[in-house]
Amino acid sequence: MGLVTKVTRFGYWEEGGNVAAVVMVNIIVKAICEYSQSLIHNVKEEGRNMHLKVVRGGRHVEVSICDIVVGDVIPLNIGDQVPAYGILITAQPLSIDTSRVNGDSNIVSLHASSGASRLKPGSKIADGSGTMLVTSVGICTKSELSQEIGNKRTFKEVLKAVATSIGNVGLAVAFIAMMFLLLRWFTGHNLDGSPKFIGVKTKPRDVIEEVNQIIIAACTIAVAAVPQGLPLAVTLIIVSATKRMVADNAFVRRPIAFGNMAFAKNLLCDKTGLTLNEMSVVQAYAGGKKIDPSDNNTPYLSLKLSSLLTEGIAQNTYVPESGGVDVSGSAIEKAILRWGIKLGMNFEDIRSQSSVLNVVPFNSEKKRGAVALRLPDSQVRVHWKGVPEILLCSCTKYIDANDHLVAMNDDKLMFFKKAIDEMAAGGLDCLAIAYRSYEFQNVPTDPELLAQWELPEDDLVLLAIVGIGDLSQPGVKEKVQLCQRGGVKVRMVTRDNLPTAKATALECGIFDSDADANMPNHLFDGRVFRELTDGQRQECAQKIKVMAWCSPDVKILFVQALKKIREMVAVTGNVTDDAHALHQADIGFAMGIRGTEVAKESSDIIILDDNFATCVKAFKWGRSVHPIIIKFMQLQLTVNVVALTTNFMAAVFYGHVPLNAVQLLWVNLLIVALVPLSAVTKPPADELTSGLLIEPGQPVKRYVKWKKLLFQGVYQIVAILIINFQGRSLLKSYNRSHAIKVKNTMIFNTFVVCQIIHQLGARKKGMLSKPKKWITSNYLFMGIVGTILISQVIRNI
């Protein structure tokens, strides 16, 4: 009797110790999960900790947005957000969107001379450019500058729904088992033939105890069906991959990107990322002839032509006022400024010799910009720059090499058009520079009328047409080919004309050859695409490799057309106009360096180095993480199916459950949650895997490999049930109570070993053919397996 008591007490202590151990493991894993969530938050904070250029102490410096101080002068361009409280000190003019400040969409036009020139953090620059003086850093929170757009369902949320469905099945099975056990006890018989329940003769205590045991068995069956480790492990996997992607210059803003990248077959990429963004003037036509812009061309340009050119460049190119010439701004502006300096441009002298009357900022819709100047002799000169195909139509004269104004006849017009086509065919961005004189008496004198004055753009005099080139990123051709082999079609969308777009696509490997570019619909005009019907767009979208003359609205139509034919689309963008396309795409890539804050907020992933190769790395990570999650889900379902089936059949035919709740928690939280992490520690494969598991939009149950699940489940269930029903015959030397405990321990150990074998099977590639290499590349996995086995041994002692 003492021995029985001792064993019973030991059993209670063992059970309590097991519960305590599992609770501790549960707490530790939950803590890891919470810490992982904080890592995601920290990564987001890193993304919000943006850097920008400011003028401090007369010099341009790059500082964190958190390090802005009072007195800093900050350049503002289209798409930027106001980072602090300040006043506008220069503007050309400036329009701001205050919807982020007051909640209502409201566009306000500001001028440096107006009284309402105070700026609040969170406002967006809708049009124009200027500079602001920081008066207070205020409480410009990071959340104001990085509000997320959209409500996309994350992978974790999808798997939570799966876990809920499985849990509901478990509850149903547990209820059936409980009803069967209750019916069996109330109507069944003992081994000697006597009834188990004898009505009022049965003691209430015995009834309560038996019903309690049945309810516990039913709860254990329900617990067996709940995949406790599913959401937790997915979080850990995604967090680990996210941190590693940051090291690869890809910042993931939304985890849904991992799931979408596994199925995306289209990458709509603009020139940002494909090129180095180090533009320079490589060809030029001035004085009615072609000149070489690589050398100092002052001797080859007439005095008047050189003076007008440098005046137009200095006054019609945005440069922040910093007390000196600092070549900054967009890539095109930098190239034009560098060429102006080669021409002998004295920036400060030219700007001091005239005053600005009005400015038309360069607009992506009109594709041109202008500035009106008042000269010392009260003359007015209007300088224009823009796309040559548009600006050339407004030119009626040009200046020849002898400073003579010459009428633009048909022959000369064809000469310039041919020059534009040749430069565009060479992949150059073309820009025309022109001017015209204007009567001062016709200029509005009222400040409000002057601000609304539409600058004249007819009867222009052509000064120069320049070709601006940008080299492609090193190795971009190989990366494009890698995407094509991996099932991702790289399609270029650009605002360039057809010849320029074709040349760039050939250089980057999007077109294999001229014959490929000349195939029907491979090179498409965005202006034509806009006019097509929805059906025609969907038909053409499948074949388009390069979309030229692609405005923001055409880019959105292109995305919509591909999505309507059930194609998953990734899009790159860097300007404010790209925000809508980035948001509509399944995966939005924003550029971290050249991208505006509006574009970044609309994206799923930010490419921190503006490199196309990083986009490819992001695809590799997405294609790598997705199979890991699927394999984990396969393992989790196997665990739940085996545990649920085993406990149900044992309860129905034997009256007891062999796997209790503590053991099931141990398996779910220790094995299932930690083993998949070992796969994320390895970098993705060099090749972009093309084997997609299923088509997007299919139910999650289609991810499951049912044949493999059936095989794993059947052999595990058979092995465990054999031990459960025949185990006591192998343990005849033990008393009944101890034999049951030993048998259940054998069942639990068999269950754990089966899951380890399942994991080894999922990672068997190279295990037998190259065992040494397999072991050295799977140190973490082997360490986790060893830890689990040691833990099992210690638990059984």
**In the chain, what is the straight-line distance between the N-terminal and C-terminal CA atoms, in Å?**
24
For the chain, give the number of residues: 797
Beta-ladder partners of 90: 131
What is the C-alpha to C-alpha distance for residues 555 and 743, in angstroms, rounded to an integer? Answer: 66
- Whether 496 is catalytic is no
H/E element holding 547?
strand 546-548
**Residues whose CB is less than 8 angstroms from the CB of residue 405 and which lie 6 or more positions away in sequence, other chains included:** 397, 398, 399, 461
Which residue of the set 80, 97, 270, 470 is catalytic? 270
Query: Side-chain half-sphere of 45: how many Cα atoms within 13 Å?
Result: 8
- Asked whether 294 and 467 are in contact (CB, 8 A), the reply is no
Name which of 668, 690, 675, 697 is nearest 786 in CA terms: 675
Structure token pair of residue 51: 């850097």
What is the C-alpha to C-alpha distance for residues 236 and 231, in angstroms, rounded to an integer? Answer: 9
- Asked whether 268 and 554 are in contact (CB, 8 A), the reply is no
Name which of 291, 321, 541, 601 is nearest 419 in CA terms: 291
Structure token pair of residue 206: 């015995």
DSSP codes, 48-115: HS-EEEEEETTEEEEEEGGG--TT-EEEE-TT-B--SEEEEEEEEEEEEE-HHHHSS--EEEE-TTSS
What is the C-alpha to C-alpha distance for residues 185 and 208, in angstroms, rounded to an integer? Answer: 12
Query: Side-chain half-sphere of 561: how many Cα atoms within 13 Å?
Result: 22
Structure token pair of residue 735: 């008393």
**Residues whose CB is less than 8 angstroms from the CB of residue 745 and which lie 6 or more positions away in sequence, other chains included:** 796
What is the C-alpha to C-alpha distance for residues 343 and 339, in angstroms, rounded to an integer? Answer: 6
Alpha-helix runs per DSSP H in 565-611: 579-584, 597-601
What is the C-alpha to C-alpha distance for residues 235 and 37, in angstroms, rounded to an integer? Answer: 8
Measuring CA to CA, how many Å separate 563 from each of 260, 266, 310, 559?
Answer: 13, 10, 48, 6
Which of the residues are catalytic?
270
